[in-house]
């Protein structure tokens, strides 16, 4: 199964907002509210930022928010900060206890 579709890169200036999309099908993103988002800094392990489409774990800034419409999920980061520069991955449940990730998006803070 092919990876979920994410833009390869996005960029924004400090203080601005950006949105990263994650497009799948009705068998994964569109079929379940089990979309997560992970942040990964170079050479580091991924970190959970959003779970079940729109929920933030304790300790994650409220500048991060998630949503979903049809087969596309989105991660929005408001008030961009230099520390937000990283790679971001979405993931979704696909059925039969399998999971699929997006191809990843590199966020550059200008």
Partner 1 sequence: EVQLVESGGGLVQPGGSLRLSCAASGFAFTTHWMTWVRQAPGKGLEWVANIKKDGSEKYYVDSVKGRFTISRDNAKNSLYLQMSSLRAEDTAVYYCARYSSDWYVTFDIWGQGTMVTVSS
- Shortest spacing between CB 79 and partner 1, in angstroms: 25
Give the footprint of partner 1 on this chain (CB under 8 A): 1, 3, 32, 34, 36, 38, 40, 45-48, 51-52, 55, 57, 89, 91-93, 96-104
Quick one: 2 or 62, whose CB is closer to partner 1?
Answer: 2
For residue 104, the minimal CB distance to partner 1 (Å) is 4
84 in helix, strand or coil? helix
Q: Min. distance of Cβ 60 from partner 1 in angstroms?
A: 11
User: Considering beta carbons, is residue 13 or 62 the nearer one to partner 1?
Assistant: 62
Name which of 63 and 103 has its Cβ closer to partner 1: 103
The β-bridge relationship of strands 98-101 and 9-12 is unpaired
- 8 Å CB contact between 76 and 63: no
Strand-pair category, 9-12 with 105-109:
parallel
The Cα 3–Cα 63 span in angstroms is: 26
Distance CA 9, CA 29 (A): 20
């Amino acid at each position: 199964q092919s990876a979920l579709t994410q833009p390869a890169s996005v960029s924004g200036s400090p203080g601005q907002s950006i949105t990263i999309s994650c497009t799948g099908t009705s068998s994964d993103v569109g079929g379940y509210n089990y979309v997560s988002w992970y942040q990964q800094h170079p050479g580091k392990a991924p970190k959970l930022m959003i779970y079940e489409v729109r929920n933030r774990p304790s300790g994650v800034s409220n500048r991060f928010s998630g949503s979903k419409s049809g087969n596309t999920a989105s991660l929005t980061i408001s008030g961009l900060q230099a520390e937000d520069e990283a790679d971001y991955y979405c993931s979704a449940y696909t059925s039969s206890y399998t999971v699929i990730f997006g191809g990843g998006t590199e966020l550059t803070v200008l």
